[in-house]
């Protein structure tokens, strides 16, 4: 493959996929990544995005060098490194299918945008959010909540038969029916999560969902098999 096509970018909501040449020397590949992102800097601007790498297997160190090269040659904020693209395809496919079903039953809303600290979105139906729910923001719903982005704030559902799903599931608080879930960061104090994230490197994430099982809220990676069916 020639150098011009050694790195191919594909964007999706809140994320970027990099298709990398499997045979090129890694140092040369980094140079091509730098070129691609310098050329695309005006398009991506200062967005916060997830990134996934396809086409070749990277070591942890190589992933980190990739992330550093991207941030050095753009204004992007890389929030996390996502696993294989089929995980994303499965998540988005199921989310879209669920939304169509909810729309057919007149029981869903669609919200485009990011909820920022202090903002609250309340609905008397299920909802799919194309964007992030940032720390300090809240979603309150009578039906299921699907976040096609990062859930870092709070999500509350009135009925225990529903679920909460997100591409990145790192919430502060979840409530489904009478059952509550609170992250360890929140339990350890308001500064713990901030200090930990500053020291840590971008984490691999999987789309996850939260639902009630045996009297408590559980978080599980999204797979093809779930009790009662996924995103019903």
| φ, ψ of residue 133 in degrees (nearest 5) | -115, 100
Q: 73 and 98: one domain? A: no
pLDDT the model gives residue 197: 38
Write out the two tokens for 162.
């529903």
Q: 78 and 91: one domain? A: no
For residue 102, the enclosing domain spans 85-221
* Domain assignment present for 227: no
* Domain assignment present for 228: no
Q: 130 and 89: one domain? A: yes
The three-class DSSP label of residue 152 is: coil
The three-class DSSP label of residue 44 is: helix
pLDDT, tens digit only, all 232 positions of the chain: 566 788 988 877 667 888 999 999 999 999 999 999 998 877 777 776 778 888 888 887 788 788 888 888 988 777 666 655 555 556 655 655 555 565 555 556 778 778 999 999 999 888 888 778 999 999 999 989 988 778 999 999 998 888 998 888 899 999 999 999 976 544 444 443 333 333 334 445 567 889 999 899 999 887 544 433 444 4
Chosen domain end from 47, 82, 117: 82
Q: What is the pTM of this model?
A: 0.54
Q: 74 and 104: one domain? A: no
Residue pair 166/30 in contact by the 8 Å Cβ criterion = no
* Domain assignment present for 230: no
* Domain assignment present for 45: yes
Q: 93 and 78: one domain? A: no
pLDDT the model gives residue 89: 56
pLDDT the model gives residue 196: 35
Q: 59 and 103: one domain? A: no
The total domain count for the chain is 2
CA angle 202-206-211, nearest 5°?
125
Residue pair 182/201 in contact by the 8 Å Cβ criterion = no
Q: 89 and 76: one domain? A: no
Q: 53 and 90: one domain? A: no
Q: 146 and 178: one domain? A: yes
pLDDT the model gives residue 187: 45
* Domain assignment present for 59: yes
Chosen domain end from 61, 82, 103: 82
Chosen domain end from 82, 108, 129: 82
CATH number for 166: 2.160.20.70
* Domain assignment present for 115: yes
Instruction: Convert 115-137 to b/e letters by CB count within 10 Å (16 or more is b).
Output: beeeeebeeeebbbbbbbbbbeb
* Domain assignment present for 170: yes
């Amino acid at each position: 493959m020639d150098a011009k096509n050694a790195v191919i970018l594909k964007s999706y909501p809140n994320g970027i996929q990099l298709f990398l040449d499997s045979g090129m020397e890694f140092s040369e590949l980094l140079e091509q990544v730098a070129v691609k992102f310098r050329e695309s800097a005006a398009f991506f601007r200062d967005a916060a995005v997830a990134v996934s790498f396809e086409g070749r297997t990277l070591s942890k160190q190589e992933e980190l060098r990739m992330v550093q090269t991207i941030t050095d040659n753009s204004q992007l904020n890389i929030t996390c490194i996502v696993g294989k693209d089929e995980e994303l395809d499965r998540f988005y496919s199921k989310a879209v299918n669920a939304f169509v079903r909810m729309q057919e039953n007149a029981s869903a809303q669609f919200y485009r945008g990011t909820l920022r600290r202090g903002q609250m979105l309340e609905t008397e139906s299920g909802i799919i959010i194309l964007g992030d729910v940032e720390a300090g923001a809240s979603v309150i719903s009578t039906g299921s909540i699907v976040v096609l982005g990062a859930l870092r704030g709070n999500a509350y559902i009135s009925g225990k038969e529903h679920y909460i799903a997100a591409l990145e599931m790192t919430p502060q608080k979840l409530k489904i029916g009478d059952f509550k879930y609170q992250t360890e960061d929140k339990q350890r104090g308001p500064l713990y999560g901030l200090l930990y994230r500053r020291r840590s490197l971008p984490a691999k994430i999987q789309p996850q969902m939260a639902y009630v099982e045996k009297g408590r809220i559980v978080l599980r990676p999204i797979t093809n098999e779930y009790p009662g069916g996924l995103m019903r």
